[in-house]
Structure 1
Amino acid sequence: MNILLTGASRGIGKAAFDALTVAGHRVAGHSTKGGSGLLGADLSDPAAPRVLWEAAVEALGGKVDVLVNNAGIYEAVSDDAAQEEWLAAWERTMRINLTASSDLSRLAIGHFRKNGGGRIVNVASRAGYRGDSPQHWHYAASKAAMIGVTKTIARGYAGENILAFAVCPGFTVTEMTEEYLASRGGEKILSEIPLGRVASAAEIGKIIRWLATDAPPSATGSVIDANGASYVR
């Protein structure tokens, strides 16, 4: 399969890239700055999703079978921040985490309609169901909305063989979280996870690979939780 994967340079995205390429799929990976074989696009720019999509279609020989929306940010803003700072944080998070992935999904659906169907996999978060810290209202809101977008696509386009899935990781070991886990914050996180450990990026990558390539069509609209039973719904 030909796959566009956003946020492929590190963490969950890199693990998904590795899992998909090892399985023999052709992956156009993306990062903000590009380089090292990745397509560059700053998803905080409203024009970037279309530019990225067109570059991926070209890189993949004119046909994309799967879109994986993994790129996202997790940036704190205090609830007592200045109004300008608060709004800027919300607008940046929503632009990158939600609007850009929705723009890419819309472009993918138009492309899939011409090519007999396709799949969209959205990387959401446990926070989309459970909520997050008081510094991350915007992050939780963006991920809850991504789940809603996934279900809407699944319901709206299944008859055209356009399938949509999401995965909701809990706390996951990546380059960005190792330092925090090593601090006293890590002990608190582990105490809330019945499995006794956080997920690895490789585990989430395997789930993404399965949803992108092997999940049965009847599972469209499904959201897979991967949080060690720290939140069960």
Structure 2
Amino acid sequence: MTLLKDKFAVISGAATENGIGYATARVFAEHGATVALLDLERNDPQKKAAALGEQHRGYVCDVTRREACQQVAEQIIKDFGAVDILINNAGITQPIRILDIKPENYDAVLDVNLRGMLNLSQAFIPHMISRGRGSIACTSSVSGQAGGGVFGGPHYSAAKAGMLGLAKDMAKELGPKGIRVNAVTPGMVATDIRGDKMTQEVMDRIVAGIPLGRIGTPAEIANVFLFLASDLSSFVTGATIDVNGGMYIRA
């Protein structure tokens, strides 16, 4: 299928092999998009992009730096000619308790997750406005809805909740300009972000609270981003789509 034929997509946090961003880049490429993978230098986004095909490109970008986002946006628009889709996926987490959060912990998590979304969105929105169309989506978390309960401290929950608020406000402001903005809230997903910080006992307890009885895969989250990036969701904006196996079911 070619749901994204002739589309140009930018994905942040996209060069971790087992991450949501790279899974999204892969499925976008499979559906005909040309993809720009953004990540830190240590994750080698150029190499990951090349693995998807010669038309795809990788760019080093620290989303916490506004000027870096502006510069990479200018370069991508120059290289691709247009950008139709932006996926704000860059994120970090820290599983610490409220009294253990130091200013530097708070700043690090909020800067990557929330400020990074703002920085990168601001860099590409003027281009999308000039074209009269675009789709922006972000990777939030069930932690931002439920106040934790998955993985990460209270500052992580705050950052992910902030992303939901920012996405909704952006959807209201940018809708009249032809730009859709949505959020995806994964539950527990089998990515590398947890590292070795979660014991099997904790994992078993979390899975026991998931009606579908398992954790998700990056590809399952990527498929939702595919929907939001494509014309299948042409009348969807300001939405929060839960992809959590039922671990957080709202009225």
Alignment TM-score, normalising by the size of structure 1: 0.91
Asked if 1:216 corresponds to 2:233, the answer is yes
Cα distance 1:198–1:180, how it changes in 2: closer, same or farther (>3 A)?
Answer: farther
Q: Deviations over 1:62-103 (max 9, x none)?
A: 21111110010012344333xxx6111111111110112112
Confirm or deny: 8 A CA contact 2:63 2:119 kept in the other structure.
Answer: no
Confirm or deny: 8 A CA contact 1:5 1:67 kept in the other structure.
Answer: yes
Confirm or deny: 8 A CA contact 1:39 1:55 kept in the other structure.
Answer: no
Cα distance 1:91–1:176, how it changes in 2: closer, same or farther (>3 A)?
Answer: closer
Gaps of 5+ in 2: 1-6, 50-57
Confirm or deny: 8 A CA contact 1:97 1:142 kept in the other structure.
Answer: yes
Residue identity matched to 1:35: Q
Confirm or deny: 8 A CA contact 1:77 1:89 kept in the other structure.
Answer: no
Residue identity matched to 2:95: A
How is 1:92-103 mapped onto 2 (pairs within 5 angstroms)?
A: 92-103=108-119
Asked if 1:35 corresponds to 2:46, the answer is yes
Q: Tell me the equivalent position of 2:157.
A: 140
Asked if 1:126 corresponds to 2:142, the answer is yes
* SS of aligned partner of 1:218: coil
Residue identity matched to 1:7: G
Residue identity matched to 1:53: A
* Cα deviation, residue 4, structure 1: 0.6
Q: Tell me the equivalent position of 1:74.
A: 93
Q: Deviations over 1:29-48 (max 9, x none)?
A: 11111431421112233432
2:31 to 13, 23, 28: 23
216-225 or 197-206, which moves further after superposition? 216-225
Measure, in 2, the Cα distance between the counterparts of 1:64 and 1:191: 41
Measure, in 2, the Cα distance between the counterparts of 1:90 and 1:71: 16
* SS of aligned partner of 2:20: helix
Q: Tell me the equivalent position of 2:12.
A: 6
Measure, in 2, the Cα distance between the counterparts of 1:47 and 1:78: 32
Confirm or deny: 8 A CA contact 2:93 2:152 kept in the other structure.
Answer: no
Cα distance 1:181–1:138, how it changes in 2: closer, same or farther (>3 A)?
Answer: closer
Count of paired positions: 229
213-222 or 97-106, which moves further after superposition? 213-222
Q: Deviations over 1:123-180 (max 9, x none)?
A: 1111111011596111111111111111111111211111111110001011344756
Gaps of 5+ in 1: none
Cα distance 1:71–1:135, how it changes in 2: closer, same or farther (>3 A)?
Answer: closer
2:205 to 188, 191, 194: 188
* SS of aligned partner of 1:173: coil
Q: Tell me the equivalent position of 1:47.
A: 67
